[in-house]
Amino acid sequence: MRVAFEREHDRETIDVFFTTSVHGYKELSGVTITDVAHRSTVDIAEELKLRSAAIADGTDAEFGEVKAVLGWLPI
């Protein structure tokens, strides 16, 4: 359930966000696995492993886009 504008809204799926380290534990990123209620633990683990590896080796397009946007922000 999420709350927006003081109203409760049911969600259609249960999604879980996992924090993962990249670049030799120098940076943190994350992977969202969707619809975990209808997936096996093995399936979730396999997707987490594949997506974490893609982030680490630079082939995950979504991570690359977010990282590029964050690079423009002053810190």
Look-up: residue for tokens 């799926």?
Answer: 13
Q: What's the average model confidence in pLDDT over 37-59?
A: 90
pLDDT tier for residue 45 given thresholds of 50, 70 and 90: very high
Print the domain residue range for 49: 2-71
Three-state secondary-structure class, residue 18: strand
Q: How many residues does the chain have?
A: 75
Region 39-66: mean pLDDT is 85
Number of compact structural domains in the chain: 1
- Residue range 27-42: mean pLDDT, rounded: 90
pLDDT tier at 68 (50, 70, 90 boundaries)? low
The two tokens of residue 54 are 């893609």
55-75 average pLDDT score: 74
